[in-house]
A and B are shown apart, each in its own frame.
Chain A
């Protein structure tokens, strides 16, 4: 047994698939003095890895997880621990058949070979299936089963061979010590280690371990049930662990896979059974292992009929019984994604948790890169542990959301799908008025935001707008959005933007700090607004946001609500150590009401004595004005391409502001407009990019069309890479595309929603020189340009205006044309309206 070293460069707590892959990758990236600790014995210390079913279906609708999974499969293959068996997702309902068509498009987008099967074809691959109840199958030949324990051992051995790793098994972490918000050491029952970097890769125990340092890792242990049925002669005869494709019975939320002579039947159909990390039994107390809890048959019994229906013969073969059943614990997060990266509360304390076997090695590599270079190759904004607001870290929220999501594990999740639980969480001061106007609220990081207003239904008679024939395309959507858009372009609209995250940067070092953090020139006179990319050291997007200079030593950062927590961490992490600049989160102090449209100035000038003329307040400026009795900050900017302002008022004056604007606007034909206009229709007509959709760390400002005309002399994060990118031909260019024909084979019009592959007219995938596939990053109507608009990156040879391409949606190809290559807006290309 290894002795405990006094000092380490990094301590990785946990020897499951994540901890093991992480130590291997850290060692390969040059880390030494790595100490890995697990309370349990090796190679199976008793966490979720030890009972995982170990199969991998690589197709995911989301790019981030798909990329992590594909990387993981490559790594498992290289380690020689992967058996490729193929897998079929079967549909029992027409809705699922539709979903399988959608999965075909996602498979194409991320480069996974897949095909749709008829019931007879399913039967040919899985002879013992009852294909009479199957409507279709989605077949992925590269579905595989891996030996995750062996993979873990290999990764540890790699680190050991490099002389980088000390593994302490059967060692309990008693405390993670901190000083001034930084990790300083780890106390174990076998000695203390001084260390400044600690990774919590403890799966279901992660919240408990992180709490030792005062940090939160928002996940909950939850039960996934599975049983083994056997012996089954037909499977025994194959003399293989797995010789038939794994079947996911999607509509019953179950899977069936051969496991030697047995059939393993797993379920995500039972009630959500959540546990608390502190209540998980110890290794000694556990019957099987701490994460294999006693099987609760009552929860599983209803699913048996479903399994029998699909596999009536082999599951009832003479002599076959339920040989094994467990309530296996796995980790669930409020949004279903992993929780990776440095915790927001404690410097040097990292999280690598809520990871499935299918992503383990990919996550190990990505987190190791992140810890080494400051960023991973794959943009992980959707998996960043810093993405959660405080309320999203509460046990109440975590348990509500995971309970709701559990039965959707195999569910058909609409891209615009809304949560039902843990709402409303955050509301603007306008909320009561919006409800009265029939607002249909969509949630953004806890904020209730009107997506559209039913009170605007009469606008449908006034403006001609598209309707959507297919229920799927029309779900979580309304043609009222497009009518609100046209009313805004025609008259004026008021839009609730309270979900913005607002940070004030103050102090004598504020300017230097802001210069260092941003690409744009921040040394502008007070009252100026600066739109700027925020880059990673590698020159990719870390954020894009607006900065208002409020005074010589006072800047306000206005950033999207979704990015708020990550931006807060990024900016806080880089504050000068001498304290010369301070950052204050003022999000909850101010509400924001946007007023935009040709009559916006008429509206505002009727409410204020301040000069809001173009001369008195040109585009790109901000100033304090007074509306009646309400002092507020007016910011002349627009994300929808219209004349108008963001009005940032104290939160407690918000209701009065709404009422005043609403009343004064009546004579001008004001309409309240939702985020459907702000975030989609208005934005896309102007070709504005959105962080997390078009903008991510894998793309640079040149590719995004957001490089600024001049490079400031001040140094800033990512400058070197930015300069290099400016000198090179971009490998991809952000383009606006229009859909030429919406007609499907069923003879109805279909409307894509984002994530679909952009292909050649022959259906060939388009991949740029850096290996990045072209796909639709955003999609939506352009009511004023009369076209349906798509954004997406294209390699230079395709990024030519007028180029004919296609988009695959629901496994059908739709012709599209490159309308704009680069940043020029399709609507009002010279921005005359904004600058009016």
Chain B
């Protein structure tokens, strides 16, 4: 069982998201970077699958050289191999991104690494285009289901995946190889162990430098949504506050 996980380096936002002066990007001066919670669940799932069924896991990211940090973050969580598609921008639009990932997967396959399952986070938290996974799967001729919060292997070699909907859930069965776009809630991702971090530090990450292919999506500018004002009401001090708290909880219907 070989699993590929595709992740994206994204800013970990503060309470307020600032934009750069040209309104093209999020101002990341004070921000750290991470992978999205969806991506983290994909990584966790890949690690669990390989632990359970054998094989190997690979993490792939397209991003600036600094995205090496997120690739190694995945390795520190237990992924075996890392691939970085290094670009000289923060990201590319989805079509070009998907082409580059497709090409990299094709290259890896031609070298003898075939992937039974390709996992994606459902969407990136910054761009939110919801389409890279679908484009890659389509280009590779793989079946894909998105919005997945449960994956299990079925006898005969396929996977059964679960998507949550308003009134319950939908079940899909896919034959392998396949692609799945997963959502936060799929599992509880582990924290990287210290040994994992040390292993990640020493791991060699394979780097490709793809050329940007054509893409139809162009960013004009970002806009700051209106800030939502929150109001704080002090319900009381000390034990005297208990009644007011109870009343409020009742009013909210949680008690």
Chain A residues engaging chain B, CB cutoff 8 angstroms: 229, 279, 281, 283-287, 293-295, 297-298, 301, 304-305, 307-308, 315-316, 319-323
| Contact yes or no, B198 A287, CB < 8 A | no
| Contact yes or no, B69 A281, CB < 8 A | no
The residue in chain B whose Cβ has the minimal distance to the Cβ of A317 is B193
| Contact yes or no, A285 B32, CB < 8 A | no
- CB B218 to nearest CB in A, in angstroms, measures 28
| Contact yes or no, A286 B14, CB < 8 A | yes
Q: A286-B15, A294-B12 are in contact. List 5 more A-B contacts (CB 8 A).
A: A286-B14, A304-B194, A305-B198, A320-B193, A322-B194
25 A-B contacts, Cβ less than 8 Å apart? A229-B194, A281-B30, A283-B15, A284-B15, A284-B16, A285-B14, A285-B16, A286-B14, A287-B13, A287-B14, A294-B31, A297-B69, A297-B197, A308-B194, A308-B195, A315-B194, A316-B193, A319-B190, A320-B193, A321-B191, A321-B194, A322-B191, A322-B192, A322-B193, A322-B194
| Contact yes or no, B14 A321, CB < 8 A | no
| Contact yes or no, A301 B197, CB < 8 A | yes
- CB B78 to nearest CB in A, in angstroms, measures 10
The residue in chain A whose Cβ has the minimal distance to the Cβ of B202 is A301
In angstroms, Cα B13 to Cα A304, docked, is 27
**Cβ of B206 < 8 Å from any Cβ of A?**
no
In angstroms, Cα B198 to Cα A307, docked, is 12
| Contact yes or no, B15 A321, CB < 8 A | no
Interface string of B43-58 (1 = CB under 8 A from A): 0000000000000000
| Contact yes or no, A307 B194, CB < 8 A | yes
- CB B49 to nearest CB in A, in angstroms, measures 18
Interface centre among B12, B30, B194, B196 (most CB of A within 10 A): B194
Given contacts A284-B14, A287-B13, A322-B192, contact A304 B32 (CB under 8 A): no
- CB B173 to nearest CB in A, in angstroms, measures 32
For B18, give its contact among A285, A307, A322, A323 (CB under 8 Å).
A285
In angstroms, Cα B18 to Cα A284, docked, is 10
In angstroms, Cα B191 to Cα A297, docked, is 14
In angstroms, Cα B191 to Cα A320, docked, is 7
Instruction: Name the interface size band of chain B.
Output: 20 to 34
The residue in chain B whose Cβ has the minimal distance to the Cβ of A229 is B194
- CB B21 to nearest CB in A, in angstroms, measures 15
**Cβ of B201 < 8 Å from any Cβ of A?**
yes
Overall SS of chain B's interface:
loop
Interface string of B12-37 (1 = CB under 8 A from A): 11111010000000000111110000
| Contact yes or no, B197 A304, CB < 8 A | yes
For B30, give its contact among A285, A295, A305, A316 (CB under 8 Å).
A285
| Contact yes or no, B194 A285, CB < 8 A | no
The residue in chain B whose Cβ has the minimal distance to the Cβ of A319 is B190
In angstroms, Cα B196 to Cα A229, docked, is 12
In the bound complex, residues from chain B placing their C-beta under 8 Å from that of A307 are 194
Find residues 162-215 in chain B having any chain A CB closer than 8 Å to their own CB.
Answer: 190-198, 201
In angstroms, Cα B201 to Cα A271, docked, is 18
- CB A417 to nearest CB in B, in angstroms, measures 34
For A304, give its contact among B15, B16, B31, B198 (CB under 8 Å).
B198
| Contact yes or no, B14 A323, CB < 8 A | no
For A285, give its contact among B12, B15, B192, B193 (CB under 8 Å).
B15
- CB A332 to nearest CB in B, in angstroms, measures 20
In angstroms, Cα B190 to Cα A316, docked, is 14
| Contact yes or no, A287 B12, CB < 8 A | yes
In the bound complex, residues from chain A placing their C-beta under 8 Å from that of B30 are 281, 285-287, 293-294
In the bound complex, residues from chain B placing their C-beta under 8 Å from that of A321 are 190-194, 196
Chain B residues engaging chain A, CB cutoff 8 angstroms: 12-16, 18, 29-33, 69, 190-198, 201
In angstroms, Cα B30 to Cα A403, docked, is 22
The residue in chain B whose Cβ has the minimal distance to the Cβ of A308 is B194
In the bound complex, residues from chain A placing their C-beta under 8 Å from that of B33 are 294
The residue in chain A whose Cβ has the minimal distance to the Cβ of B32 is A294
In the bound complex, residues from chain A placing their C-beta under 8 Å from that of B195 are 308, 316
- CB A266 to nearest CB in B, in angstroms, measures 14
Interface centre among B16, B191, B198 (most CB of A within 10 A): B191
- CB A497 to nearest CB in B, in angstroms, measures 50
In angstroms, Cα B194 to Cα A76, docked, is 34
The residue in chain A whose Cβ has the minimal distance to the Cβ of B190 is A321
The residue in chain B whose Cβ has the minimal distance to the Cβ of A263 is B194
- CB B166 to nearest CB in A, in angstroms, measures 33
In the bound complex, residues from chain B placing their C-beta under 8 Å from that of A294 are 12, 30-33
In angstroms, Cα B76 to Cα A295, docked, is 15
The residue in chain A whose Cβ has the minimal distance to the Cβ of B15 is A284
In the bound complex, residues from chain A placing their C-beta under 8 Å from that of B193 are 316, 320-322
In angstroms, Cα B14 to Cα A286, docked, is 5
In the bound complex, residues from chain B placing their C-beta under 8 Å from that of A281 are 14, 29-30
In angstroms, Cα B69 to Cα A293, docked, is 17
Interface centre among A281, A285, A307, A319 (most CB of B within 10 A): A285
The residue in chain A whose Cβ has the minimal distance to the Cβ of B189 is A321
In angstroms, Cα B193 to Cα A307, docked, is 13
In angstroms, Cα B196 to Cα A319, docked, is 11
In the bound complex, residues from chain B placing their C-beta under 8 Å from that of A279 are 29
Given contacts A287-B31, A294-B32, A321-B190, contact A301 B198 (CB under 8 A): yes
In angstroms, Cα B196 to Cα A323, docked, is 13
The residue in chain B whose Cβ has the minimal distance to the Cβ of A318 is B193
In the bound complex, residues from chain A placing their C-beta under 8 Å from that of B14 are 281, 284-287
In angstroms, Cα B32 to Cα A287, docked, is 8
In the bound complex, residues from chain A placing their C-beta under 8 Å from that of B196 are 321
| Contact yes or no, A301 B192, CB < 8 A | no
- CB B198 to nearest CB in A, in angstroms, measures 6
The residue in chain A whose Cβ has the minimal distance to the Cβ of B30 is A281
| Contact yes or no, A316 B194, CB < 8 A | yes
The residue in chain A whose Cβ has the minimal distance to the Cβ of B193 is A321
The residue in chain B whose Cβ has the minimal distance to the Cβ of A315 is B194
In the bound complex, residues from chain A placing their C-beta under 8 Å from that of B16 are 284-285
- CB B241 to nearest CB in A, in angstroms, measures 15
For A295, give its contact among B15, B18, B32, B191 (CB under 8 Å).
B32
- CB A53 to nearest CB in B, in angstroms, measures 19
In the bound complex, residues from chain A placing their C-beta under 8 Å from that of B192 are 321-322
Minimum-distance CB pairs A-B, first 8:
A294-B32, A321-B191, A281-B30, A284-B16, A287-B14, A285-B14, A323-B191, A284-B15
In angstroms, Cα B77 to Cα A323, docked, is 12
In the bound complex, residues from chain B placing their C-beta under 8 Å from that of A322 are 191-194, 197
In the bound complex, residues from chain A placing their C-beta under 8 Å from that of B194 are 229, 304, 307-308, 315-316, 320-322
The residue in chain A whose Cβ has the minimal distance to the Cβ of B13 is A287
In the bound complex, residues from chain B placing their C-beta under 8 Å from that of A319 are 190
In the bound complex, residues from chain B placing their C-beta under 8 Å from that of A301 are 197-198, 201
Interface centre among A315, A316, A322 (most CB of B within 10 A): A322
- CB B37 to nearest CB in A, in angstroms, measures 15
In the bound complex, residues from chain A placing their C-beta under 8 Å from that of B12 are 287, 294
In the bound complex, residues from chain B placing their C-beta under 8 Å from that of A315 are 194
The residue in chain B whose Cβ has the minimal distance to the Cβ of A327 is B32
In angstroms, Cα B73 to Cα A321, docked, is 12
In angstroms, Cα B18 to Cα A2, docked, is 31
In angstroms, Cα B197 to Cα A286, docked, is 25
In angstroms, Cα B194 to Cα A315, docked, is 7
The residue in chain A whose Cβ has the minimal distance to the Cβ of B232 is A41
In angstroms, Cα B15 to Cα A504, docked, is 56
The residue in chain B whose Cβ has the minimal distance to the Cβ of A304 is B194
In the bound complex, residues from chain B placing their C-beta under 8 Å from that of A308 are 194-195, 198
In the bound complex, residues from chain B placing their C-beta under 8 Å from that of A295 are 32
Interface centre among B15, B69, B196, B198 (most CB of A within 10 A): B15
In angstroms, Cα B190 to Cα A322, docked, is 9
In the bound complex, residues from chain A placing their C-beta under 8 Å from that of B69 are 297-298
- CB A182 to nearest CB in B, in angstroms, measures 36
In the bound complex, residues from chain A placing their C-beta under 8 Å from that of B29 are 279, 281
- CB A101 to nearest CB in B, in angstroms, measures 32
In angstroms, Cα B94 to Cα A765, docked, is 75
In the bound complex, residues from chain A placing their C-beta under 8 Å from that of B13 are 287
In angstroms, Cα B197 to Cα A192, docked, is 52
In angstroms, Cα B214 to Cα A556, docked, is 81
The residue in chain B whose Cβ has the minimal distance to the Cβ of A287 is B14
- CB A2 to nearest CB in B, in angstroms, measures 12
